[in-house]
Amino acid sequence: MSTAIDPYQLWGERTSLLPKKLAYVFSLDLRFRIEPSKAYWIGNELACRLEIEPASESDPHHTYHVLDSNLVELPNGSIHDVPSIRATSGGDWLRLRKNSTAELDARVILDAEQPRGTMPADPRRMVKRMALRYGGVANLTRPHLLFTDGEPTAVGREGATQNGEEKLGTAFVALRFDSSHPLYRWLVITQYVGFGEVHIATDFHEEAKRRYRRLRFSYDVYSAG
């Protein structure tokens, strides 16, 4: 694929930027549990595994289009169905630095349902399994809320609490999908990035609060090109 850029301008130190494009693909909500008692130190970093909370019957889908569109267009011009994917298992091996930045390293198993408009073949094959791997950084405003054992007293006092959860920071990740199904090949062959927010739940039972925290990572996933 040749481009229209003057080849003589490219090499050497350029004085202009290369063309770039980001295209919104879908949004992805992932819910995790974190047990403060299982956190441990690795050098100067506090490490803990966040465990995926599987999708429930009342909330079966973790992907959606914020404008409820069924189709998305990638930077290369190809048009695809917004996939209907739910997380079933996996985790995020989070490492928190002293400057409140957390390294994210997640492996998630996703189940994708038969896309709209396609013929349902063998019902046993309607659910397509997919692997998601992403890494990146989360900039947390009050990371102590994740790891303090017992009553999370600060929750709901300093920050704005909305719908039973409170924003804890932002997250930026690079995502890779893997699937053997041809319908999702377009997800496999493209680099994706996610702009996200981290929320901590404040609404669950007091006893559970003492054992674990619940986090929601909400990403807008973009394809770059």
Partner 1 sequence: MNQPNAHSLPHRRTFLDKSLLYLFSYDVEADMDRQEIGLVPGGARVNILARPGLSRVYHVMRERTVPGLGFTAISGTLTWGGDWAFWREDDVEFSEVRMTIHTDDGGTIHGFYPVISYLGPGGFRRVVGEKGKIGTEKEPVDWPVITSPRFETTSPAYFWMMDLQCLGFGLVRIVKSEIRRITYDVYALS
Residue 3 as a binder of partner 1 (CB under 8 A): the answer is yes
Count of residues binding partner 1 (CB under 8 A)?
60
Rule CB under 8 A: say whether 136 interacts with partner 1: yes
Give the separation between CA 83 and CA 12, rounded to whole angstroms.
42
**Strand blocks (E) in 53-121:** 63-64, 71-73, 79-81, 85-96, 101-112
The single-letter code of the amino acid at 27 is S
Q: What is the spatial distance between Cα 88 and Cα 216, in angstroms, rounded to a whole number?
A: 15
Instruction: Indicate which single residue of 1, 79, 121, 160 sits in contact with partner 1 (rule: CB under 8 A).
Output: 1
Please choose, out of 25-33, 36-44, 108-116, 119-127, the segment that lies near partner 1 by the rule CB under 8 A. Answer: 25-33
Is residue 29 within the footprint of partner 1 (CB under 8 A)?
yes
- Residues 180-219 as x/- pattern, contact with partner 1 by CB under 8 A: --------xxxx-x-xxx-x-x-xx---------x-x-xx
**Is residue 179 a contact point for partner 1 (CB under 8 A)?**
no
Taking residue 167's Cβ as centre, other Cβ atoms within 10 Å add up to: 16
Specify the long-range contacts of residues 15-20, CB closer than 8 Å, at least 24 apart. 20/224, 20/225
Calculate the alpha carbon distances from 72 to 21, 93, 137 in Å. 14, 31, 26
- The nearer residue to partner 1, 95 or 119, going by C-beta atoms, is 95
Contacting residues toward partner 1, per CB under 8 A: 1-3, 5, 7, 10-20, 22, 24, 27, 29, 31, 56, 58-59, 64, 66-67, 99, 101, 135-137, 139, 163-165, 172-174, 176, 188-191, 193, 195-197, 199, 201, 203-204, 214, 216, 218-220, 222, 224-225
